[in-house]
Amino acid sequence: MSKDQKHQGQERQEYPTSRNLYFIMQNQLSFIPLGGVGEVTKNMYLYEYNDQILIVDCGLGFADETMLGVDLLLPDISYLLKASSAGKTKKRIVGMLLTHGHEDHIGALPFLLPQLPDFPIYGTPLTAAFANDKLKEFNAKRRVQSVNFNDSEKSIGSFSFSFIPVTHSVPDTSHIFIKTPVGNFYHGSDFKFDDTPYDAKLTDYAKIEKAGATGAMCLLSDCLGAERKEKTPSDINLTQNFINEMKECRGKFIVTTYSSNISRLNQIIEASEKNGRRVCFIGRSLIKAKEVARSLGYLNLKKDIEIEIESLKNHEDRNLTLIVAGSQGQENSALTRIANGEHRDVKLKEEDVIVFSSDPIPGNETSVYELVDTLTRRGVKVIYSPVTRDFHVSGHGSLEELEHLINLVRPKKLIPIGGQYRHMFAYKKLAEKLGYKKSDIFLMEDGQELLFSDGNVKLGRTIPVKNVYVDEMSGEELEGFVLRDRQKLSEAGIIIILAEIDSNNGQLVGNPDVIVRGMSAASYDAKRLNSRLTQDFRKALGHRGRVTNWIYVRKLIGETAERRIFKDLRRRPLVLPVVIEV
Amino acid sequence: MSKDQKHQGQERQEYPTSRNLYFIMQNQLSFIPLGGVGEVTKNMYLYEYNDQILIVDCGLGFADETMLGVDLLLPDISYLLKASSAGKTKKRIVGMLLTHGHEDHIGALPFLLPQLPDFPIYGTPLTAAFANDKLKEFNAKRRVQSVNFNDSEKSIGSFSFSFIPVTHSVPDTSHIFIKTPVGNFYHGSDFKFDDTPYDAKLTDYAKIEKAGATGAMCLLSDCLGAERKEKTPSDINLTQNFINEMKECRGKFIVTTYSSNISRLNQIIEASEKNGRRVCFIGRSLIKAKEVARSLGYLNLKKDIEIEIESLKNHEDRNLTLIVAGSQGQENSALTRIANGEHRDVKLKEEDVIVFSSDPIPGNETSVYELVDTLTRRGVKVIYSPVTRDFHVSGHGSLEELEHLINLVRPKKLIPIGGQYRHMFAYKKLAEKLGYKKSDIFLMEDGQELLFSDGNVKLGRTIPVKNVYVDEMSGEELEGFVLRDRQKLSEAGIIIILAEIDSNNGQLVGNPDVIVRGMSAASYDAKRLNSRLTQDFRKALGHRGRVTNWIYVRKLIGETAERRIFKDLRRRPLVLPVVIEV
């Protein structure tokens, strides 16, 4: 230790000066989730050390029913944009690491990368391939670099990291062990511990344990399964169930599943081969995932097994397996079109069997069950969970596996990620049961900074993060007020008031016109409303003479109308005043 | 057989005349579900014989997320209104029978009775009490007559009927055995076979069997549980679970459940008594249900056990049980207000426990889980299904019980009711397994008539039934086009075009004004859109001279704008043209 450093250390205890504060900052790591805590999707986490920022994941969120006309959400990167722009405290994004190839971990890349400066991005082979396919599709220039699990530890800036293989519902899923000058983080994103995975690619328990032995200041852990007691079952048993069900089926065997679940696709292909069925992929997302996985050798799909949709008519139904996109009941998906009898190449017959090899994502229950009903109406046999649990198992570990990870890593502190608040809470209960103190477990909110230094952790800034809505078609962001307007419009409709005002004396000319949309005709007496509004406007306008401020007049008309409408109709539609100068 | 009758019978085979057709009609019963098939709610069924109509149930439907700003749906009674109005074929509603006191079986009474002529309405005591309470609240004059299970068979018109006690999640639930001149119907609405119900009021298996022995032409059966294999568990075990959980709890014990589940309320009260806790009811619907049930002696609530909300502050938290309305995450419910910290009298503390003694009704998952998250954020322990199944069991029978009912009734024909199509389909599979032919089981749609005569059944008319939306607050109906407008508004917003047209020459004056709401500013270039619209309008209006038809001009402006907006923005907002005559 140099004299100078020692001096700083002494001063620090007694006279905190700006120089000393800088010293303190140097020994501090700031962890900020921009998305992914208190919610399952939209994963994005920042590790900040001095002027360096390392990002983990860049995922999409999915809109719920309250977000009208919106399909997708993005992590709010305002903080990153500000922090990385010129200025005294300018920070540098040194790199980004991707844990696995699911939309809620890589899906925001094409939307957010174009806004950010250049930096290297790393992911395991399939993760990189899925991400790059997406970037190409959006004409984005950046690419993700492929990293193998047995590559040696890499460094970017003051950070170094290694990828650790774990099992999940997409191949090449990894946990990331991140070393920082302040301490080591085990970033344990989505996983389960499946010891008999279909692709025989096992979790590297030894590598996890070794990481833990190096010393882990903090474990970030998937917590989505923290309410389930039993170990999550292995996927391996599903293959035999597919084989048996296909054997029984005398018509087309139709399966829908998540496109990225390559092992599931392999299981369906194997079962089809054993039953002498040819396999056809239907739906854009599925075909893309199939191509990417196949090009990397992850898909065991022999040339003569696959057939194109155009050739379906040359085969007997009982020799066909169709793997179809649309397991969530999406409006324009292949499966929905098939169910509605609107698909050109696939028509349902009574002997067909349809298997949902998936669960409804929370929020999609209504559309999934509606699709099941529509399919059932066509007379086909529909198999779906939770009625049958033979064709799908979760990709997330249950309490037993979460406990196993804690025991392997043996971290000082714990942060549950990738779950709703109730899952985070259940994870906390688990950690307490294992002997952790309440103060060692952090249930975070998006934007909440945690400061790690000298083995201590404390809450830091609260960085404001807002909902960023994106229009899937155009990629444009939607402002929050637009959503609020839509909410109002959808609940109570709109009333447009056209009022002619004489610019000479500021008086109403004649009666206003009232146009109503999205509101029941029975809910108001148009004539009465009109005459009441006329009265109110006359009174509100008073005798103000020549109009100089039209904005004020418009506002006055709007507010007066809103008051009257609420008073008489007990409703709050969107009121839009249009003032016409005459 | 009189000579005349015999003569008719002979004629009928050989020379069908109008007189004979009348004869055929006389031996025919028409069954028409106006709601309740292919859906769980909105139950209403018509039994029509000659000019007589007997109605069973009059229930509400609940709006799903696609029905914007709508809370409730009603059965469409257009057919009833038309059939019972004056005319040659005028029919008479002879009466209405109510199976049990749930909203989806009695909730539409206050909305529909005022539209219908007078007729007697019968229900078991609690059913009648719940219905009458509702009718009083809406200031409706009609009342439901109370019938006891041991009353002898009653007749109205050509029908006679008897109520048969079955177990379900509200006391006094009944099946109804209906005798018609054409044959007997066993109307087996919602039920489970719980042989140890908390209130010890058992299903009267002997009465069911006796009805079956009389000969049942058709069994209508609840089918909601037809996808579940095991027998639905008894409610009885829940009491001990409540006792245990309350003992553990060191703070307030808060339970939310369906207000009509009186047995559940009794179980919670018993558990509270055993734990020395006083009970407080919070929320309007719960308090009303409590009062009705208590006045009939159905609620075992001693005076000194209950406390009013104002007295909560005089008791220690560990001596309190709060039974709170809002198990479905309803926006303005007591529980939501408590969760948000907005309830005046109830503030949450960390030692409090909250139990959802209920399941999310399909479609409510998002709001229920959001409420669970909000409560969890307050640090309290939240217990809810499906994570824990110890505090709620379904009120609907599973396959075993549905089979049991078929075996007791031994009907010729079967109609599953009160389920989605997938449940009806599963019921059909059960019936086939039991040896029924496909042609003996009818999977119906609302408005589909079934004609029963001489042991034969055939499809009759398809009576058009539409969705009838109702505004809960005002009780007014909402037209379908209003919903469609709201859908458009919520998905893509609204664009209002103000175009000034010279009445002398039909030409556009200046540029149109374009007002946009509910649409992202980033999604269009306002200036460019305006100039394109100006061009398009000029072209569309042409040189038409003095304006004679303003409606035509308005339509022209609207359609031209819609085309341009879709072409340039690829969006379909609601386009509202306003033409100003100058």
pLDDT of residue B6: 35
A568 part of contact set with chain B, CB < 8 Å: no
pLDDT of residue B576: 86
Model pLDDT for residues A211-262, shown as the tens digit of each residue: 999 999 999 999 999 999 889 999 999 999 999 999 999 999 999 999 999 9
Starting at the edge strand that comes first in sequence, how are the strands of the sheet with A494-501 ordered?
A: A513-517, A494-501, A574-581
CB A553 within 8 A of CB A575: no
CB B292 within 8 A of CB B126: yes
pLDDT of residue B21: 46
Angstrom distances, CA of residue A487 to CA of A344, A482, B353, B492? 36, 9, 34, 11
* Amino acid letter, B177: F
Select the more confidently predicted residue: B300 or B477.
Answer: B300
- How large is the angle between the packed helices A550-569 and A526-541, nearest 10 degrees? 140
B63 part of contact set with chain A, CB < 8 Å: no
> Closest residue of A to B63, CA-based?
A366
* Amino acid letter, B424: M
Give how far A370 is from chain B: nearest CA, Å: 9
**pLDDT of B339 higher than 80:** yes
Q: Please tell me what DSSP assigns to residue A523.
A: G
Cβ of B369 and A486 within 8 Å? no
pLDDT of residue B389: 86
pLDDT of residue B22: 45
**Complex ipTM value:** 0.78
* Amino acid letter, A151: D
- How large is the angle between the packed helices B421-433 and A365-377, nearest 10 degrees? 50
Based on C-alpha coordinates, what's the Rg of chain B? 29
**pLDDT of B523 higher than 80:** no
B68 part of contact set with chain A, CB < 8 Å: yes
What is the maximum span of chain A, computed from C-alpha positions, in angstroms? 89
Peptide bond into A386 cis (omega under 30): yes
Collapsing DSSP to helix, strand or coil, A195 comes out as: coil
DSSP bridge pairs for B324: B256, B282
Q: Which two tokens stand for residue A549?
A: 């401020």
The count of other CB atoms within 10 Å of the CB of residue A136 is 12
Q: Is the CA virtual torsion B328, B330, B334, B337 positive or negative?
A: positive
Chain A CB contacts of B377 under 8 Å are: 421
Q: Find where tokens 């109503």 sit.
A: A516
CB B105 within 8 A of CB B58: yes
> Closest residue of A to B230, CA-based?
A387
pLDDT of residue B109: 96
The end-to-end CA distance of chain B, in Å, is: 84
Give how far B374 is from chain A: nearest CA, Å: 8
Based on C-alpha coordinates, what's the Rg of chain A? 29
Rounded Cα–Cα distance for residues B350 and B338 (Å): 14
The mean pLDDT value of chain B amounts to: 89
For the purposes of burial, counting CB atoms within 10 Å of the CB of A74, is it exposed (0-12), middle (13-18) or buried (19 or more)?
buried
Collapsing DSSP to helix, strand or coil, A563 comes out as: helix
Collapsing DSSP to helix, strand or coil, B134 comes out as: helix
The count of other CB atoms within 10 Å of the CB of residue B325 is 23
Chain A CB contacts of B501 under 8 Å are: none
> Closest residue of A to B480, CA-based?
A520
Select the more confidently predicted residue: A13 or A549.
Answer: A549
Angle at B446 between CA B445 and CA B452, to 5 degrees: 75
Rounded Cα–Cα distance for residues B208 and B204 (Å): 7
Kind plus residue range of the DSSP H or E element containing B564: helix B550-569
Rounded Cα–Cα distance for residues A533 and A558 (Å): 11
Nearest-CB residue to B489 (from A474, A476, A486): A486
The mean pLDDT value of chain A amounts to: 89
Nearest-CB residue to B387 (from A227, A382, A522): A227
> Closest residue of A to B493, CA-based?
A486
CB A581 within 8 A of CB A504: no
Nearest-CB residue to A422 (from B38, B372, B522): B372
Q: Find where tokens 């100058």 sit.
A: B582
CB A488 within 8 A of CB A574: yes
CB A136 within 8 A of CB A102: no
Model pLDDT for residues A421-458, shown as the tens digit of each residue: 999 999 999 999 999 999 999 999 999 999 999 878 99
Rounded Cα–Cα distance for residues B315 and B280 (Å): 11
CB B227 within 8 A of CB B421: no
Mention the CATH class of domain B22-230+395-470: alpha beta
* Residue B67 pLDDT level (bands cut at 50, 70, 90): low
Q: How do the domains of chain A map onto residue ranges?
A: 22-230+395-470, 238-383, 493-581
pLDDT of residue A358: 93
Nearest-CB residue to B520 (from A479, A513, A519): A479
Cβ of A515 and B578 within 8 Å? yes
478-537 of A, contacting B, C-beta below 8 A: 478-479, 482, 485-487, 489-494, 496, 498, 513, 515, 517-523
Give how far B445 is from chain A: nearest CA, Å: 10
Cβ of A366 and B369 within 8 Å? no
The phi and psi torsions of B334 (rounded to 5 degrees) equal -55, -45
Torsion of the alpha carbons at A316, A318, A321 and A327, rounded to the nearest 10 = 110
Rounded Cα–Cα distance for residues A287 and A304 (Å): 17
Q: Which residues are CB-contacts of B135 (< 8 A; sequence separation ≥ 6)?
A: B109, B110, B113, B141, B142, B143, B144
Q: Which two tokens stand for residue B19?
A: 């007189």
The phi and psi torsions of A500 (rounded to 5 degrees) equal -90, 125
Model pLDDT for residues B144-193, shown as the tens digit of each residue: 999 999 999 999 999 999 999 999 999 999 999 999 999 999 999 999 99
Cβ of B68 and A520 within 8 Å? no
| Pairing label, strands A121-123, A92-97 | parallel
Alpha helix stretches (DSSP H) within B396-479: 399-409, 421-433
| Pairing label, strands A52-56, A44-49 | antiparallel
Average pLDDT score over residue span A197-202: 94
Q: Which two tokens stand for residue A341?
A: 């009898």
Angstrom distances, CA of residue B355 to CA of A69, B242, B375? 35, 9, 11
Cβ of A489 and B494 within 8 Å? yes
Cβ of A473 and B373 within 8 Å? no
pLDDT of residue A31: 97
Give the global pTM.
0.82
Q: Please tell me what DSSP assigns to residue B153.
A: P
Place domain B238-383 in its CATH homologous superfamily.
Metallo-hydrolase/oxidoreductase (3.40.50.10710)
> Closest residue of A to B419, CA-based?
A373
Rounded Cα–Cα distance for residues B563 and B556 (Å): 11
Rounded Cα–Cα distance for residues A474 and B127 (Å): 54
Q: In chain A, what percentage of residues exceed pLDDT 90?
A: 67
Collapsing DSSP to helix, strand or coil, B370 comes out as: helix
Bin A220: left if φ > 0, else alpha if -120 < ψ < 50, else beta.
beta
Rounded Cα–Cα distance for residues B413 and B186 (Å): 10
| Domain A493-581, CATH among 3.40.50.10860, 3.20.20.70, 3.10.20.580, 3.40.50.720 | 3.10.20.580
A216 part of contact set with chain B, CB < 8 Å: no
Rounded Cα–Cα distance for residues B501 and A65 (Å): 41
CB A414 within 8 A of CB A406: yes
Q: Which residues are CB-contacts of B143 (< 8 A; sequence separation ≥ 6)?
A: B121, B132, B135
Cβ of B477 and A520 within 8 Å? yes
Among A14-28, A398-412, B64-78, the range scoring the smallest mean pLDDT is A14-28
Give how far A61 is from chain B: nearest CA, Å: 15
| Pairing label, strands B159-165, B154-156 | antiparallel
Q: In chain B, what percentage of residues exceed pLDDT 90?
A: 67
Peptide bond into B33 cis (omega under 30): no
Q: In chain A, what percentage of residues exceed pLDDT 70?
A: 92
CA B348 to chain centre: 33
